[in-house]
A and B are shown apart, each in its own frame.
Chain A
């Protein structure tokens, strides 16, 4: 078992990915900061109960996610919707030439996704968190994580492709106007 690191080291190691995960959940900077701070304050109060230092990351992400769910339940602003390809009409196609994506485009694409796909995807990409650990954090079965990651990647690819096509068509339109 690993010993627990000093809390400033824990902050240094995890505050940025936790903030980014919170931002992907809450979509607003202030709310993301609050979620992240709440998580660390929970750590300050209860973290010493954890004996194994290797579980700190999972503990923090699980705590943040549970707090987010708790806030959703309280606010009832929106509910989680399980994506259904037949209802939502998404088409899975494997694009070969994918454009380079920046962080703003990526976050925009992620925010358009259903929460059930966005959450495991962000954990996967932020931390290289293994799928089994993602299942623990999100409290869903491993098989569900695998299928949501797979489906989520397909959707994300399509969203990025679409936004790139939009940018290309807009910039082409501007050029045409300039020529005219």
Chain B
């Protein structure tokens, strides 16, 4: 190896520790160790590289970008492709909703809100209804909802702390103000959606698990709110979240 060859290699040496370099780079470093002028040049180059590397990693990335990416990737996972029956099921649910909605004014607002909530969840989960706000921080999502006077849960089961927050949407369920908070399930492509409906006369009740149209759900009341957590993950996973 001559000086020019060593210099050409050191020019493209990354800022990693020398131990991480390949054998060519190691040879170039050894050569420079015995050539003070080359070593001095190399130190100046590294100083420049450090400055540029630091500046480029400070280029800002949009704050909600990560959540958008994760959501988009979950929607495009293989489970959601080539599943005609899911579209048919979704169409059936929408048709059902149309019927439910038509009858809704005749019904007591305290019951059957789950069907409408599940349809909205289905739309959000399928990417047909975009979220209003993206954030990877659950507290920030709750604050965002509170600022807009949209309902947020007073408290959540400890098991839900493993969920990765994605974002939220403000909706109405059975004519009541409601929010949908979306989460990523740990270790899978599935999402979990928490619907919080503002129902002033709702009194606290224990969780009830049930399944419908490929969704596993749990519904419960806390004071002033009716809640539904829905996921396509299996019931055992859902039960862990409610622990």
Interface membership of B157, Cβ < 8 A:
no
CB distance from B132 to the nearest CB of A (A): 18
Min CB–CB distance A67 → chain B (angstroms): 15
Contact B76 A102, beta carbon cutoff 8 Å: no
Contact B73 A131 (CB under 8 A): no
For the complex, what is the distance from the CA of A21 to the CA of B61, rounded to whole Å? 11
**In residues 119-169 of chain A, which contact B (Cβ within 8 Å)?**
122, 124-126, 128-132, 145-146, 149-150, 153, 156-157
Q: Which of B8-16, B204-212, B218-226 contacts A (4 or more CB under 8 A)?
A: B8-16
Interface size on A, residues (CB 8 A): 46
Q: A146-B8, A149-B12 are in contact. Are A12 and B55 (CB under 8 A)?
A: no
Interface of A is mostly: helix
Q: A8-B70, A40-B72, A125-B56 are in contact. Are A16 and B48 (CB under 8 A)?
A: no
| B58 on interface, CB distance cutoff 8 Å | yes
CB 8 Å contact bits of B27-48 with A (1 = contact, 0 = none): 0000000000000010011011
**Contact of B73 with A11 in the complex, beta carbons under 8 Å:** yes
- Kindly state the separation between the CA atoms of A20 and B58 in the bound complex, as whole angstroms: 9
- B66 & A145 in contact (Cβ 8 Å cutoff): no
Which residues of chain B are near A40, meaning CB under 8 Å? 69, 72-73
Tell me what chain B mostly uses at the interface: helix, strand, loop, or mixed.
helix
A44-B62 contact, Cβ under 8 Å, with A102-B55, A150-B11: no
What B residues does A41 contact at CB under 8 A?
72-73, 76
B53 x A125 contact (CB < 8 A): yes
Residues of chain A within 8 A (CB-CB) of B189 are: 7
Q: Which B residue's beta carbon lies closest to that of A43?
A: B73
- The residue of chain A having its C-beta at the shortest distance from the C-beta of B45 within the complex is A153
Within 62-83 of A, Cβ neighbours of B (below 8 Å) are at: none
Whether a CB of chain B sits under 8 angstroms from the CB of A103 is yes
Contacting pair B56 A15 (CB below 8 A)? no
**8 A Cβ contacts from B150-174 to A:** 164
B76 touches A45 (CB 8 A): yes
